[in-house]
Amino acid sequence: MINPVGSMGIATNNSYASSNEALKDAEFKSFLKEAERKAVKNHDHIVNSEDFNKEDKELKEACKGFETMFLQMMYRSMRATVPDNELFGKKSNAIELFEELRDNELMKKTADAGGLGLADIIYKQLAPSVHEKAALMQK
């Protein structure tokens, strides 16, 4: 189909342009389908692997450990802002050690219960690269 003469006096052929676009579109769709097929194949291979589960578990533990450490540092800093009360005498080293150990255990339990959600955010950020690394190591 030939269009009427355009503004510059040149006739244009829409059928060639549209068939060329259709060909490019078909090639692109074929490329996408092939990439999706490979991704699903690779993903299934990774998901069924023990290495993947091990890497994933280690990543979750590391993220939770980081959140625990962050909470401990935050709690220690908050406790340092409270002035010492010498009403009952000065704290002994044993009491200070006990309080520090208690606070650390409290923050571990807090992180295990969900904490601030920092571990989840870090996990979501790092998981794709760790999973990709595990996939490459298996090939």
Looking at 27-138, which runs of residues are DSSP E strands? none
pLDDT tens track for 122-135: 999 998 887 777 67
Q: What's the pLDDT score for residue 70?
A: 92
The pLDDT score that the predictor gives to residue 90 is 82
- Asked if residue 2 has pLDDT above 80, the reply is no
What per-residue confidence (pLDDT) applies to 67? 92
Is residue 51 predicted with pLDDT exceeding 90?
no
**Residue 21, pLDDT above cutoff 90:** no
pLDDT computed for residue 24 by the predictor:
74
Pick 120 or 12 by higher pLDDT: 120
DSSP for residue 85 = -
Residues 81-106: pLDDT tens digits? 988 887 877 888 898 899 899 999 99
Q: Which pLDDT does position 79 carry in this prediction?
A: 87
Which of residues 21 and 128 earns the better pLDDT score?
Answer: 128
**Per-residue pLDDT, 66:** 93
User: Each residue of 73-97: b (16+ CB within 10 Å) or e?
Assistant: eebeeeeeeeeeeeeeeeeeeeeee
Hey, which bits of the chain come out as E strands? none
